[in-house]
Structure 1
Amino acid sequence: MAATDRSRSEAAKQRRQDQLQRWQGSETDRTGAEARSQSSAPGNRRARVRFAQGAVFMAACSAGDREEVAELLRQGADINHANIDGLTALHQACIDENADMVEFLVESGSDVNRGDNEGWRPLHAAASCGFIQIAKYLIEHGAHVGAVNSEGELPLDVATEDVMGRLLKAEIKKQGIDVDQARREEERVMLQDAMAVLAGSGSLAPHPNTQATALHVAAAKGYIEVLKVLLKCGIDVDSRDSDGWTAFHAAAHWGQEEACILLAEHMCDMSIISNVVRGSIITLTGFFLFFI
């Protein structure tokens, strides 16, 4: 295996661990465990605490309890409910290699192309874990092999196994997908949306979970043309996400010097400290010195 392939494989394995850690110990995981513990306690016929339906649904899916999942759906549970990290039950079933639950959820209407907070689709999860049968099933049911995550990676880019790579490459060729164009698609769409806002015919909303704005994304990824248009739209240059980061934090953290210069020229407040004070100061020190 070439050095670049080894590097990609190691990175994908780390992402797999990150995905698992999102669930383990998360609010949804704890809620499910607590719910099961309370309901099975001797003499406790009724749980003392009522849990949110979405959390109960996620826990039931994770436990592989199809009857309970079906009943919750009949009661109105949202099959595409996502936890705080944007993971849906389908994401989790893919990570857990629970092919039966994957099939059940997809046949019940789960969105095979929904991304989590980092833009990972269920196919990204299956590809990174090397679960070939699940990946095939997702593709057969409409999963986009040309979809990119927040890092601009296709499922192919996070695949760790040769057989997975061959499957995805074959599907990309079959569908005639231009991978370079696919990787640039987010920037193209963002520029189109920004132009619509500038023309007064569009609007932009922050991410529902992270509260990150288009300005944060453009700054972090160095989408300079998008950033220029957004800054003309009168968007609050100092808007903060749920971690207290501004677009300047994002640009500085990811080393986007041109984006930092643009934001500074538009009088962003470089003294704002994020919710993680020490980390924010360390991240921005070099750029403070640059502008001073």
Structure 2
Amino acid sequence: MAATDRSRSDAAKQRRQDQLQRWSGSETDRTGPDARETSAGPGPGPGPGPGARRARVRFAQGAVFMAACSAGDQEEVAALLRQGADINHANIDGLTALHQACIDENSEMVQFLVESGSDINRGDNEGWTPLHAAASCGFIQIAKYLIEHGANVGAVNSEGELPLDVATEDAMERLLKGEIKKQGVDVDQARKQEQRVMLQDANAVRTGSGSLVPHHNTKATALHVAAAKGYIEVMKVLLQCDIDVDSRDIDGWTALHAAAHWGQEEVCSLLADHMCDMAAVNNVVSLAN
């Protein structure tokens, strides 16, 4: 039994090292006291000479944490959390370790992360919660566990979809429909929740009691979101505020790009009335119109 445990541990560690190597291009920092050292030296020749300085590579703690979770190494995950790792660290797509554990059908890691305080209702860049992920993959036991521990069956992603809407198997649909009925969730109201919240936030900005913060990963603003989804009332309030109508997300898209891409004609007209840049070019050199 001990040999089997060692074998699993070795396999997990090898998988984690492989992941760290794949992420090295975007998740490394070649400075700092926490560096993981390589054997490459600065001088000529095939290897370092006596006393040669060793190149140092430090993998960001978030990358190490995500890799340990994906490898199923609960011992190291717990150690990293004690060292201050953010249990809700998200990758460039907004996926947390809990999202990934659901996608990987790693029930043990799902339970470990939830019990350790992971945000069970956090959405990724597209608004998908862990329950959306489990529902779309058909992982019924994980979905049940998430619901039992507070997952919101009425959560809506960026496309206005509930976990029920992305479920592809009958058993999952029955589970989610049953929970929606049991909890008395108004599905129609749930689908409109984002627009209501955005309108409240926009009014708070207009009256000076709130502020607009771009998405931490995509840098998209509320104006981008409202433009893409055709939230006209939200747009009208936002455009009364002192905001940059041509603000750009990480890909260089303006609100006009978003409205044009999603076919929101009324939004395009509204933005034009507010003197947006009709010739705006994004990072892939695509005209807004």
Q: TM-score, normalised by structure 2?
A: 0.82
Query: 1:194-233 counterparts in 2 under 5 A?
Result: 194-233=202-241
The reply on whether 1:244 has 2:252 as its aligned counterpart is yes
Shift of 1:249: 0.2
The reply on whether 1:101 has 2:109 as its aligned counterpart is yes
Contact 1:237 1:247 in 2 (8 A): yes
Contact 1:28 1:58 in 2 (8 A): no
- Among 10, 15, 23, the residue aligned to 1:31: 23
Contact 1:28 1:83 in 2 (8 A): no
User: Using the alignment, how far apart are the partners of 1:28 and 1:267 within structure 2?
Assistant: 47
C-alpha offsets along residues 111-148 of structure 1, whole Å, 9 cap, x if unaligned? 00000010000000000000000000000000000000
Shift of 1:28: 6.8
Shift of 1:40: 12
Contact 1:145 1:172 in 2 (8 A): yes
Tell me the percent identity.
81
Q: AA paired with 1:156?
A: L
In the alignment, which residue of structure 2 is the partner of 1:90?
Answer: 98
In the alignment, which residue of structure 1 is the partner of 2:152?
Answer: 144
Contact 1:130 1:159 in 2 (8 A): yes
User: Using the alignment, how far apart are the partners of 2:265 and 2:105 within structure 1?
Assistant: 41
Q: AA paired with 1:183?
A: R
Q: AA paired with 1:227?
A: M
In the alignment, which residue of structure 2 is the partner of 1:69?
Answer: 77
The reply on whether 1:177 has 2:177 as its aligned counterpart is no
User: Using the alignment, how far apart are the partners of 2:262 and 2:170 within structure 1?
Assistant: 31
User: Using the alignment, how far apart are the partners of 1:110 and 1:166 within structure 2?
Assistant: 26
Q: AA paired with 2:274?
A: H
Query: 1:265-276 counterparts in 2 under 5 A?
Result: 265-276=273-284
In the alignment, which residue of structure 1 is the partner of 2:196?
Answer: 188
Shift of 1:210: 0.5
Contact 2:205 2:241 in 1 (8 A): yes
C-alpha offsets along residues 74-131 of structure 1, whole Å, 9 cap, x if unaligned? 1111100001111000000000000000000000000000000100000000000000
- The alignment covers a number of residue pairs equal to 249
C-alpha offsets along residues 169-199 of structure 1, whole Å, 9 cap, x if unaligned? 0000000000000000000010011111111
User: Using the alignment, how far apart are the partners of 1:201 and 1:176 within structure 2?
Assistant: 33
The reply on whether 1:49 has 2:57 as its aligned counterpart is yes
Shift of 1:31: 2.6
User: Using the alignment, how far apart are the partners of 1:154 and 1:99 within structure 2?
Assistant: 22
Distance change (3 Å), C-alpha of 1:217 and 1:76:
same
Q: AA paired with 2:235?
A: L
User: Using the alignment, how far apart are the partners of 1:142 and 1:32 within structure 2?
Assistant: 35
Contact 1:114 1:122 in 2 (8 A): yes
In our comparison, the structure showing a higher alpha carbon Rg is: 2
Q: AA paired with 2:22?
A: R
Shift of 1:57: 0.2
Q: AA paired with 2:179?
A: E
The reply on whether 1:131 has 2:139 as its aligned counterpart is yes
Shift of 1:204: 1.1
C-alpha offsets along residues 242-262 of structure 1, whole Å, 9 cap, x if unaligned? 000000000000000000000
The gaps in structure 2 that reach 5 residues or longer are 1-18, 29-35, 40-53
User: Using the alignment, how far apart are the partners of 2:21 and 2:146 within structure 1?
Assistant: 25
Distance change (3 Å), C-alpha of 1:28 and 1:149:
farther
The gaps in structure 1 that reach 5 residues or longer are 1-26
User: Using the alignment, how far apart are the partners of 2:225 and 2:95 within structure 1?
Assistant: 20
Shift of 1:49: 2.0
Distance change (3 Å), C-alpha of 1:239 and 1:182:
same
User: Using the alignment, how far apart are the partners of 2:112 and 2:231 within structure 1?
Assistant: 39
